[in-house]
Amino acid sequence: MRVYIALITLSLIWGLSFVFISILSEPAGVWGTVFIRCIAGALLLLPMLWLKRKEIIKPIPWKALVVVGIVNAGLPWGLIALSQTQINSSLAAVLNAFTPIFTGLIGLLFFGTILLKQQWIGIALGFVGILIIMDFDLSLLFGESFVGIGTMILATMCYGFSSHYVRKHLREAGIIFITTCTLIIGAVVGGIMMLLTNPNQLHTLTQNLNGEVVFAIIGLGFFGSGIAHLLFFYIMKERSAEFATSVTYLIPISAIFWGYFLLKEPITLHMIIGLLIILCGVYLTTRPKLTLLK
């Protein structure tokens, strides 16, 4: 029961995170958003990590932690923020539902898992859902929506890889330890990219601070990054990578709700039908248990 409560809570937090990203990405920039959310989340978790410092495994798996920090935080969060400069938060959340589908494909390609027939059908349905969202207009992929759609899909690939990688290489590490290290490394990635692309971005942010931006920083950093990551790794360790990424069943519904009521974003028929098709694909992809190759 605790795992399911954690799953629902995570979907509500991450659904709202898409709204926070839309608010924060304009004054903070793409990589400034990554840097701020990671720093805020890490600050929340560092005191907890200090209290549990005796539980940190030795030797510390630095290589695996760096990989997860980049692939599960720094890179995908930058891609999502970039995506939302081109598309709205609701559509970004719908595309985020591809995560379990790519989790299955990446498991097949890199982690020795077998996909059953109905999982392949699920993957195909997921791509049909994308076509429906675009109204079968493939020119959108080469027009203004190319960056928004493409970067969001790349972010889901990162999540899919990270889910398997954590379960394989960091299974014995503590949840708080993994999460805190992930956020610190993500902050380093965001900070470096911000300095390379727009070193004055933080100054711009401080000049545009208001109640809405501060609320977005707290919501995205403390809740969307810190607490949400704890919940995600807890679910992953208690169940599986596929079960943890199935939170994307609920995130689009949550994000569409938040986007409509907080940002007045329109809900289109294509989006709803496409989402339902994608979720059918996700269901078929994640329902069977993946079997490891010997």
Average pLDDT value for residue range 210-228:
87
Per-residue pLDDT, 245: 66
**Chain Cα centroid distance, residue 181:** 17
Per-residue pLDDT, 134: 64
Q: Which of 7-11, 23-27, 67-71, 279-283 has the lowest mean pLDDT?
A: 279-283
Give percent above pLDDT 70 in the chain. Answer: 90
Whether residue 202 is predicted with pLDDT greater than 60 in this model: the reply is: yes
8 A C-beta contact, residue 229 and residue 37: no
Tens of pLDDT, residues 77-125 = 999 999 998 888 878 887 887 787 788 788 888 877 777 778 788 778 8
pLDDT band at 294 (very low <50, low <70, confident <90, very high): very low
Please, what's the b/e burial string for 46-71 (b: 16 or more CB within 10 A of its CB; e: otherwise)?
A: eeebeeeeeeeeeeebeebbbbbbbb
pTM across the whole model: 0.81
Tell me which residue of 86, 72, 88, 68 sits closest to 34, measured CA to CA.
Answer: 72
CA angle 152, 158, 164 (to 5 degrees): 140
Per-residue pLDDT, 186: 95
Task: Give me the helices (H) in 134-200, please.
Answer: 145-169, 175-197
Residue with tokens 């539902």: 97
Tens of pLDDT, residues 144-175 = 567 788 899 999 999 989 988 888 888 787 88
Tell me which residue of 179, 180, 227 sits closest to 13, measured CA to CA.
Answer: 227
Tens of pLDDT, residues 43-61 = 988 998 898 888 788 888 9
Q: Which residue has the higher pLDDT, 138 or 216?
A: 216
Average pLDDT value for residue range 289-293:
45
Tell me which residue of 251, 273, 224 sits closest to 100, measured CA to CA.
Answer: 251
8 A C-beta contact, residue 75 and residue 84: no
Whether residue 6 is predicted with pLDDT greater than 50 in this model: the reply is: yes
Average pLDDT value for residue range 187-205:
89
pLDDT band at 179 (very low <50, low <70, confident <90, very high): confident
8 A C-beta contact, residue 170 and residue 61: yes
Per-residue pLDDT, 15: 84
Per-residue pLDDT, 169: 85
Range among 87-96, 182-191, 285-294 rated most confident: 182-191
Per-residue pLDDT, 138: 59
Whether residue 292 is predicted with pLDDT greater than 70 in this model: the reply is: no
- Distance, CA of 221 to CA of 46 (rounded, Å): 13
